[in-house]
Amino acid sequence: MLARSSMRSTRILNGLKNGAATASKRAASSSSSAAGEASATRMNLAAAASTSLALGSIAWYYHLYGPVAFASTPAEEGLHSTKYPWVHSQLFKTYDHQALRRGFQVYQEVCASCHSLSRVPYRTLVGTILTVNEAKALAEENEFPGEPNDEGEIEMRPGKLADYMPAPYKNEEAARFANNGALPPDLSLIIKARHGGCDYIFSLLTGYPEEPPAGVVVAPGMNFNPYFPGTGIAMARVLYDGLLEYEDETPASTSQMAKDVVEFLNWAAEPEMDDRKRMGMKVLVVSASLWAVSVWVKRYKWAWVKSRKIAYDPPKEVKVRR
């Protein structure tokens, strides 16, 4: 029913179209016969006018939007960080957990006095960076508010694995007050939060030149860092050669510490990465196996087709006289 009615409607449409076509044909033939050459110049005029309108609009558009406005100087943009060949960014590589351990040490000994890491609970450190006992001992170093007691007072209790790392300052105001008005950002997701990720933070930490290039005026209380947009950053250089001693006796050069802490911060922002890569590997393994199975099954199912032989056995020529 539906099909028939739609067929009817297309027929009607076709009829309309034919009607329109014949009508326009009639109009064209009648006008050409009536106006003659004058209409030819009119047509040329119309073509020229429409073309110049089109070109004009393109030109106007280009005039308005074409040239790119460089509204900021390179200094305001900041120096784009160089790409470094991070091991963990390779497809089949995990984090270097020895480096994570060193990086956590750097965070604790250097950065933790200013920067919080408030999205990382102690339990996530277990098995990736610390052993259970180390993580428990670390958690117990700090006190956290516990359950209300019989009188409804909240007492402090030693930390547990489930607690989150404490922040160095009570609140934003306290943090700003201690840092000349600048707020040290939380570092839990900083790698994801900055354009350039690991490369940027590494460059930022190691990129303080001994003195700013000639002619640069650095605002009071600020430090010159080419990678920070605007080049004036409130955080002074914090990493110096031999600032701390690694437990695995890696030489603690500035770039080594920066590399380790950046890898640690990448872990903090993306702790699921190792698992994700493992899952990807599983997907590859399973689909490769399934593919192999399907190839064998296909061979099995097609065996009789492939091995059959079609032979044409022509009828013997028999001389039969009719």
Partner 1 sequence: MGIWDAFSDIVEAVTPWSVVEAEAPAEDKEEQPEAESKDDDDEDEEEEEEDEDEIVDPKDVLEEECRNSAQCHPAKHHFDECVERVQQQEENDGGAKEDCVEEFFHLAHCATACAAPKLWAKLK
For partner 1, the binding residues (CB under 8 A) are: 73-75, 79-80, 82-85, 98-99, 126-127, 131-134, 203, 206-207, 209, 213-217, 226, 231, 241-242, 245, 249-256, 259
- Position among 121, 184, 197, 207 found at the interface with ligand HEC (CB under 6 A): 184
**Which parts of the chain fold into alpha helices (H)?**
2-35, 37-65, 74-77, 97-109, 132-140, 172-178, 190-193, 197-206, 254-269, 273-307
321 exposure class (CB count in 10 Å sphere: 0-12, 13-18, 19+): exposed
Instruction: Choose, by CB under 6 A, the member of 119, 194, 237, 277 that binds ligand HEC.
Output: 194
Contact 121, 165 (CB under 8 A): yes
CA distance 198 to 106: 16
Q: Which is nearer to ligand HEC, 61 or 240 (CB)?
A: 240
CB of residue 248 to ligand HEC, shortest distance in Å: 18
- Does position 160 interact with ligand HEC (CB under 6 A)? The reply is no
15 binds, among partner 1, ligand HEC, none (CB under 5 to 8 A by kind): none
State the binding partner of 192 from ligand HEC, partner 1, none, CB within 5 to 8 A by kind: none
Q: Are 88 and 100 in contact (CB under 8 A)?
A: no
Q: Does the footprint of ligand HEC cover residue 119 (CB under 6 A)?
A: no
CA distance to 223, 248, 286, 289, per residue, from 216 (Å): 11, 41, 59, 62
Q: Is 239 near ligand HEC (CB under 6 A)?
A: yes
User: Could you say which of ligand HEC, partner 1, none residue 275 binds, taking C-beta under 5 to 8 angstroms by partner kind?
Assistant: none
Question: Tokens 């000639």 appear where?
Answer: 214
Written as six digits, the tokens of 44 are 């040329």
Residue with tokens 């510490």: 257
What count of residues does the chain have?
A: 322
190 touches ligand HEC (CB under 6 A): yes
Candidates 128, 179, 250, 253: give the one binding ligand HEC (CB under 6 A): 179
238 binds, among ligand HEC, partner 1, none (CB under 5 to 8 A by kind): ligand HEC
Which listed option, partner 1, ligand HEC, none, makes contact with residue 110 (CB within 5 to 8 Å by class)? ligand HEC
CA-CA-CA-CA torsion sign (14, 17, 23, 24): negative
Residue 115 annotated as lining a ligand binding site: yes
Residue 184 interacts with which of partner 1, ligand HEC, none, CB < 5 to 8 Å by class? ligand HEC
- For partner 1, give the closer residue by CB, 184 or 207: 207
Tokens of residue 282, six digits: 């599983």
3-state secondary structure of 121: strand
Query: Is 235 assigned to a binding site?
Result: yes
Q: Which of 259, 250, 241 is nearest to 202 (CA)?
A: 259
Residues contributing to the annotated binding site for heme c: 111, 114-115, 235
